[in-house]
Structures are given as structure tokens and as C-alpha cells.
Amino acid sequence: MKTGRFSFLLLLGVVFSCNATTAQQQAVKLQDSSQFYYNSVNELSNYGTLPAAISYIHKVYQSRLKIGDTLNAIGDLWYVASGQLALDFYVESEITAVKAYNLLQNYSKKEDAGPYQLSLYNLLGRIFRAREDYQAAIDFYTAALENNNASEVKLILYNNLGNVYKELDELDQAWKFYSQAWELAEKSIDTLNIARVLDNKGTILLKNKQDDALDYFQQALMLRRQKNSKVGLKSSYHSLAKYFSTRDREKAIAYADSMKTLAASLGPEDRLEALRLQLELGVLTYGKEFQQLSDSLQRARKLATNKYAYRLYSLEEEQRRSRELQLSNAKFKNRILLLLLVIIFMAIIAGLVYVIILYRNKRKRIRLVFETESRISKKVHDEVANDLYHLMTKMESGKQELPATVDELERIYERTRDISRELTDLDYRNNYELLLVELLQGYTSNTVQVITRNLSGIKWDALSKDRKATLYRALQELMTNMKKHSEASLVAVSFEQQGKRVLVHYSDNGRGSKILLKGGLLNTENRMDAIGGAISFESEPGKGFKATITI
């Protein structure tokens, strides 16, 4: 994990070297005190300075964000997330890294964003690797690869992927990525990168118990000695000690001693690693020193963690007070908003009342129509039908003279014409669907429920006015009979489109009866026949009433 410490600066430096700018030109220009805090995160040599460093850099981030210095603000968040990761605040580190990534996504100058995106992908890979969420780590390292063309950066990322698979003990996959890194390393002028790949490949061979791992370790050691890389030499001594631990104990201890000597000039974590190796090789004289150093590091880490946790708590408290202040300042605005909402609510209520009044007036008009038509129907039955029957009786008896008969017929005609005029108010051309809805729902009451289905699925405009009128009167007759005679509590009327034809299925749960076509039902059948339609009936006592209309 320590190889990831410098990934931000290293990745930025590699990518920017492809342009005319150097990594130093892109880095933040800091004063000496500021540089100390940034170096604390980079080097991780003293856990005690990390809480102060993280807090300081976070304040710098906030200042830069306010003045629109977005890229440097993103860099600051990278440092904050790295510090949080070093203190094992994995969740906080992930949140900070994602915040930086979101800032980058909204950054307008996409041509400058690439290196920062790459560094954030690599950082997220490190975070998830530390959390042992290896698949997520692989995903982010892979995303970084897909967004980069620089060979030196690819080399680092291939190494990182190999390390993840090595930790998963998927050695074939690890070897695959180390080999890809080696292909790039052979073309690289950075001998330390070459040495790192050689050491990693040697580790895989060692895990597979292959003796040729020694060649890789020795080549890596030679390159690191040429560069006098203390960190690199420490890794080589460690690898060689591991190799000889089962082959030549004296050589293993010699390399472990070299690692211990070198680690003394590095950080405490490096010294602890060197002492742990001595114990693994059976040199127990270092047991007390190892325990003391381990306890010291744990105390330092715990102290740093507690300090940072306290700073987090203090920050949250400060943010809470800020939110409370904002809430207090917003109360007046909320009162105004509440007043506006009340006004809007009252306006909506007024609108609803208006709509309800309109609806009630409409229902009232519908009831008036039904009452008028019922009155007209009764008038036709009582006046026209009775007069016709009386006239027929007179004519059969021979008591009626022809002139008187003509006069009587003319009087009946006049009455019929007057009644007919009363029926011309309905407009079947427009809003026919609504007309049917109003007709059928008009029969709904506390004791009768009317259900319609697929009324809106019919192409009503395709029907002629005569067909519409006939269907309307047929349904009116069925509903009237139901109301008068059936004692039904449930009526279902469904509509079906079959090509140019419309089928209407009527059924109720009334008492039913034997079918006797007379009066209104007979008239309905005749009307249907006149327009080329049909109506059929089905009913038995106690089984309700059914009718099918085809029009």
C-alpha cells in the first residue's frame, strides 16, 4: 500500500510531461508552512501531524472553491482523502474522493481534467483495496487504464492491478498484469519502475515455488543499487530474505539485517516491517524491540485517529450550528412561503367549489332532461297510444265516419309532432361518449350500481347520427326497464369494437323474467332492424336480464 503514497504527484507528473508543462507548474504554490502539511500526507512519516494536516488542507480547499480555483481545490481533496485513508477512515476517505470526482465532472475545461480524473480513480482503487473490496478496486484501476494513454502511468496501474490479484491469491491474473507492466517497463527509462516490476514478478514465481525467482530479485536489487533508492532497496532485501528463508538461512538473515540497517534511516513503519521479518526468520532477540515499536506506532496511530475524530466532531458541531443559524434566518422566508401556500390552497379550494357547483348544475340539467323525457314518454303512451287505440276501436265498430277519422288522425299527428319536437334537444354529433356516460350513470343510485367498461375504446365518430340515436334510445329503454321492473342492484354495460361494428353487452342481477317482446323492447328491436343492427335478449326468472346490441 505504501507504493501508492505518491501516486497523485507521480501520475500528474507523468501525464503533464507529455505537454509543455511540468508537474511543479501544475502543483499548488505553497508557503513553507503549507508545504509541511502537504508533505505530511505524502510521506506519512509522522501520524501525529496528519489530523492537523487534513484540517489545514480542507480549509485551503474551501477557500479555493470560493474563488473558483476548482482544479487546485480538487487536488486538496485528494490530499484530504489520502490522509483519511492513512488514518483508516475509509468511509470518510471515499466520500471525500467522490466529492472531488463530482467537482471534476462539472469542471468546464475537460482538456485539463484528465490527470486529476486519473489520480482520483487510482485513489479510489487504493481506498477499496484497503477496505478489501477488491472488485471495486479492480474496477477503478481498470477505469483509470481506460482513461489514460501514457505508458509510464499504465505501467503503475498494471502493477496496482497485479498487486490486487496477488492479495487475492489469483497468481495467474497477477502474473498477467505484471507481464503487461514488464512490456512497458522494457521501453521505459525509469529503472526504478523496471525494478518494481521485476520484484513483483519474482514474488509470483516465489509463491509458485520456482527457483528462477532469484534472477528477478537480483536484477531488481542491482537496478535499485544503481539509483541508491532506499525504499526500493528495502523491498529487494525483503524479497531476497523471503526467497532464502527456505533455502539458505544465513543468507536470509544477512538480507534481513541489511533491510533492518536501511530501515533505520526510513520511517517507523519500515523499521517495524524489518523487525517483523527478523522474527519470521527465527531471530527472536528482536522480539522486545518489535513489541515496543509496534505498541508505540499503535499508540501514535490511535492518538492521531482520536484527534482526527475529535476534529470531525468539532467540524460537525460547527456545521450543525451553521445549519441552525441558516434555519433561523430562513424562518421569515418560511412564514412568507406558508402564507403563499395558504393563498394558493384557498384558491384551489375556491376552484374546486366552482367545479363542484358546475358539476351539480350539470347533474341537475341531466335530471331535468330525464324527467322531461319521462314525461314525454308518458304523454306518448297516455295520449297518443290511447287515442290511437280508441280510434281503432271506433273504426272497427263502424261508428266512426271518414271525415271524423281524418280529423282524429290529424289531431293525433299534431300531438305526436309536438312531442317529437321535445326530443330534438340531444346533440348526438358532439361528445357522444359523454352523452352515454351521463345516460348510464344517471341510473346509479344508493340501491343500483352501474359499471361501464371500454366506453372510451370505441371509435364513436365513425358512427352515423342515426346509429348513435338508436343506440342511445336502446340503452335508455334497457335502463328504464331495469329501473321499473328488474329490482337489480348491479348493472354492467361493456362496449366492444369489432371492425366497423360496435357490440354492447348489457347485464343486470335483477329478478329476471320470461322474454315477452312488447312495448318499449319491441320498439327498440324494430329501431335496430331499421338501421341494420340487432338486439337479442336472454332472461330467466331469478337469473337476471341480459341483452346484446350489434350496431
Residue 519 CA to residue 207 CA, distance in Å, equals 102
Candidate from 96-100, 218-222, 429-433 with smallest mean pLDDT: 429-433
pLDDT in tens, 140-152: 999 888 888 888 8
Instruction: Answer whether residue 348 is part of any domain.
Output: yes
Other beta carbons less than 10 A from residue 342's beta carbon: 10
Residue 404: DSSP 8-state:
H
Q: Tell which residue, 547, 478, 543, has the closest CA to residue 509.
A: 543
Residue 489: DSSP 8-state:
S
**Do 413 and 441 fall within a single domain?**
no
Q: Is the pLDDT of residue 383 over 70?
A: no
**Do 2 and 127 fall within a single domain?**
yes
Q: Name which residue leads in pLDDT, 181 or 50.
A: 181
Instruction: Answer whether residue 235 is part of any domain.
Output: yes
**Do 418 and 394 fall within a single domain?**
yes
Instruction: Answer whether residue 96 is part of any domain.
Output: yes
**Do 242 and 116 fall within a single domain?**
no
Please enumerate in sequence order all residues whose Cβ is within 8 A of that of 177, keeping only pairs 6 or more positions apart, or say none.
158, 159, 161, 162, 165
Instruction: Answer whether residue 397 is part of any domain.
Output: yes
| Structural Rg of the chain based on CA atoms | 47
Q: Is the pLDDT of residue 106 over 80?
A: yes
Residue 422 CA to residue 375 CA, distance in Å, equals 10
Instruction: Answer whether residue 213 is part of any domain.
Output: yes
**Do 210 and 76 fall within a single domain?**
no
Instruction: Quote the pLDDT of residue 115.
Output: 83
pLDDT band at 250 (very low <50, low <70, confident <90, very high): very high
**Do 144 and 70 fall within a single domain?**
yes
Cβ–Cβ under 8 Å, residues 169 and 205: no
pLDDT in tens, 202-247: 999 999 888 899 999 999 999 999 989 888 999 999 999 999 988 9
| CATH, residue 126 | 1.25.40.10
Candidate from 88-92, 104-108, 406-410, 427-431 with smallest mean pLDDT: 406-410
Q: Is the pLDDT of residue 5 over 70?
A: no
- Beta strands 534-539; 501-508: pairing state: unpaired
Q: Is the pLDDT of residue 29 over 50?
A: no
The amino acid that residue 40 corresponds to is: S
Please enumerate in sequence order all residues whose Cβ is within 8 A of that of 506, keeping only pairs 6 or more positions apart, or say none.
475, 478, 491, 492, 493, 545, 546, 547, 548, 549
Q: Is the pLDDT of residue 537 over 70?
A: yes
Q: Is the pLDDT of residue 264 over 80?
A: yes
**Do 375 and 437 fall within a single domain?**
no
pLDDT in tens, 347-381: 899 888 888 888 776 666 555 455 556 666 666 76
pLDDT in tens, 57-78: 888 988 998 998 888 899 899 9
Instruction: Quote the pLDDT of residue 173.
Output: 93
Please enumerate in sequence order all residues whose Cβ is within 8 A of that of 348, keeping only pairs 6 or more positions apart, or say none.
none
Q: Name which residue leads in pLDDT, 22 or 263.
A: 263
Instruction: Quote the pLDDT of residue 186.
Output: 82
Q: How far is C-alpha 142 from the chain's CA centre?
A: 24
**Do 129 and 191 fall within a single domain?**
no
CA atoms within a 13 Å half-sphere pointing along the CA-CB vector of 426: 23
pLDDT band at 298 (very low <50, low <70, confident <90, very high): confident
Query: How many structural domains does the chain have?
Result: 4
**Do 407 and 437 fall within a single domain?**
no
Q: Is the pLDDT of residue 3 over 70?
A: no
Instruction: Answer whether residue 304 is part of any domain.
Output: no
Q: How far is C-alpha 5 from the chain's CA centre?
A: 35
| H-only helix segments in 380-502 | 386-397, 402-422, 432-441, 465-481
Instruction: Answer whether residue 394 is part of any domain.
Output: yes
CA angle 334, 337, 343 (to 5 degrees): 145
**Do 409 and 437 fall within a single domain?**
no
pLDDT band at 17 (very low <50, low <70, confident <90, very high): very low
Instruction: Answer whether residue 521 is part of any domain.
Output: yes
Q: In what order do the strands lie in the sheet with 545-550?
A: 449-453, 490-498, 501-508, 545-550, 534-539
Instruction: Quote the pLDDT of residue 92.
Output: 86
Instruction: Quote the pLDDT of residue 111.
Output: 73
CA angle 253, 258, 261 (to 5 degrees): 120
pLDDT in tens, 450-504: 999 999 999 999 998 889 989 998 999 899 888 888 889 999 999 999 998 999 9
Domain holding 210, by residue range, is 171-282
Cβ–Cβ under 8 Å, residues 125 and 118: no
**pLDDT mean over 84-98:** 86
CA angle 6, 9, 13 (to 5 degrees): 130
**Do 408 and 463 fall within a single domain?**
no
Residue 460: DSSP 8-state:
G
Residue 4 CA to residue 7 CA, distance in Å, equals 5
- The secondary structure of 290-323 as a DSSP string is HHHHHHHHHHHHHHHHHHHHHHHHHHHHHHHHHH
